[in-house]
Amino acid sequence: MSDSATSHRPVRFLFLENIRQAFEVIRSHRLRSALLIVGVAIGVAAILAVVTILLGLGKQIEHDMTMADRPYLMVTRFDMLTEGPGTERVERREHLDPGAAAAVLRYCDAVALVDFRYDPDGRLRVVTRGSEHTQPLKIVGTGPFFPYMHDILIDHGRFFTPFELERARPVIVLAYGPARDLFPNEDPIGKTVRVGGIVYQVVGTFADRRHIMGQLGEGYAVIPYTTYEKDLKRRYDESYVVASPASGRTTAEAREQIIAALRSYRKVPPGEENDFDVMTSEAFVDILRRITGAIALVLVVISSIGLLVGGIGVMNIMLISVTERTHEVGLRMSVGARRRDVLLQFLVEAATLTGAGGIVGVGIGLLGATAISRVSGFPFRISPFWIAASLLFSASIGLIFGIYPANRAARMDPIEALRHE
């Protein structure tokens, strides 16, 4: 059938015919086409591997940071996102005390559980047992609701009781990592360990949470906050109030009640700003999503540079292809093919090449993400959206970088093209 006839066929048929011709060109120039497809595939694979690993990491970090399925609120002296404990404005504020937790529990009916907590302000300690010792870890002083509020399971023994809290008993609950280091082949319950020169009795151990940070994620131990006050508290240790909303109540309701209760307890005059901050677990999650999203965007942009380099290769190869097929273009135009038909032919050919590279790249990227996950232990998450986006992006590279060669072919003079050998 002549080109003048085919030019009046539906666009769908012309498009399919151009794809068929593109595969014919790939078969006739196998090495050149294969090198181009491999170049595009590497770029797509790099993008997809980075994205799938980051999506998995972001989800796991979000889970590990929030630790619980139920929401919670944390009261501090300062805004944890914009301030630090060392600023002059914050240092003028009084530290939170157990009475603040008691006030929240008494006056906030939107709150179910309330805990008071001491944080060692980045100071790490080594827990020892004879010749055995842990890596430097954080000793946290807290109340009896710590495991319930954060959904951390007890592996052996129990958590400390309100009676032990009230009496400031020297009891300790070890995270999975420290318990494994100190008691690799025996039951730790009832045994004693030392923190500095102070002896503590192990009453329980936490189950392995499989934290994304591995040993660092398990690097903590918990004692009653009254015991912490007596044995370990230092001037710059921060204190927090942690609360969990009651069933059927939102974190927004709980937050409003906590603010009102603590303004009264801390005697903040009307009209003055709070001398504390209340952050919700949802806010933590939102910040983590923004951080991981920004990191993902940067890494995707960096990975895309390789794909853009592949696009330059597409342009070079298509220019060579146009030069080699000048006579063919002149023949098509002389029998009725329009400029847009020639333009579409070369654009579809370029998009087919890079689209094939995209399909290969998706397979390589998923295999690469799986391999990285198995070697490093990092989770990955397959996203149909990003797979479709990778394929679309790879085809778009062919269209973008194929415009100049295709336009050059479409603007040929048919008579001059027919004279070309």
421 residues of the chain, pLDDT tens digit each:
444 444 445 556 666 777 777 777 777 777 877 888 888 888 888 888 877 877 776 666 655 555 455 688 889 887 766 666 656 666 778 889 999 999 999 999 999 999 999 988 777 899 999 888 898 888 999 999 888 887 788 999 999 999 999 999 999 999 988 998 899 888 999 999 999 889 999 999 998 875 543 444 578 899 999 999 999 988 778 899 999 999 888 888 999 999 999 999 999 998 888 888 898 877 777 766 777 677 777 777 776 777 777 778 788 888 887 887 777 778 877 777 777 878 878 888 888 888 888 888 888 888 888 887 777 666 677 778 878 888 888 888 888 888 888 888 888 877 776 766 5
Residue 117 backbone phi and psi in degrees, to 5? -145, 140
Do 342 and 226 sit in the same domain of this protein?
no
The Cα–Cα gap between 401 and 412 comes to 19
Q: Is residue 253 part of a domain?
A: no
Domain boundary among 233, 254, 278: 233
Q: What angle do CA 21, 354, 1 make, to 5 degrees?
A: 15
Strands 238-245 and 127-129, by their bridges, are: unpaired
Instruction: Please tell me whether residue 347 adopts helix, strand or coil conformation.
Output: helix
Do 292 and 411 sit in the same domain of this protein?
yes
Task: Quote the number of domains for the chain.
Answer: 2
Q: Is residue 258 part of a domain?
A: no
Domain around 147: 124-233
Please, is 166 exposed, middle or buried when counting C-beta atoms within 10 Å of its C-beta (0-12, 13-18, 19+)? Answer: exposed
| Helix or strand holding residue 238 (H, E) | strand 238-245
Do 211 and 310 sit in the same domain of this protein?
no
Q: Is residue 332 part of a domain?
A: yes
Residue pair 193/182 in contact by the 8 Å Cβ criterion = yes
Do 295 and 367 sit in the same domain of this protein?
yes
The Cα–Cα gap between 245 and 259 comes to 14
Do 404 and 318 sit in the same domain of this protein?
yes
Q: Is residue 306 part of a domain?
A: yes
Domain boundary among 233, 263, 298: 233
Q: What angle do CA 135, 138, 144 make, to 5 degrees?
A: 130
Q: In b/e form, how buried is each residue of 350-377, taking b as 16+ CB within 10 angstroms? A: bbbbbbbbbbbbbebbbebbeebbeeee
pTM for the full model? 0.62
Do 49 and 131 sit in the same domain of this protein?
no
Domain boundary among 233, 264, 299: 233
First to last CA, the chain: 25
Do 300 and 396 sit in the same domain of this protein?
yes
The Cα–Cα gap between 225 and 311 comes to 61
Q: Is residue 315 part of a domain?
A: yes
Q: Is residue 84 part of a domain?
A: no
Residue pair 145/114 in contact by the 8 Å Cβ criterion = yes
Q: Is residue 95 part of a domain?
A: no
Q: Is residue 335 part of a domain?
A: yes
Do 222 and 323 sit in the same domain of this protein?
no
Do 206 and 322 sit in the same domain of this protein?
no
Do 57 and 151 sit in the same domain of this protein?
no
Strands 198-206 and 154-157, by their bridges, are: antiparallel
Do 229 and 293 sit in the same domain of this protein?
no
Do 293 and 356 sit in the same domain of this protein?
yes
Residue 67 backbone phi and psi in degrees, to 5? 65, -20
DSSP for 386-404, please give it.
HHHHHHHHHHHHHHHHHHH
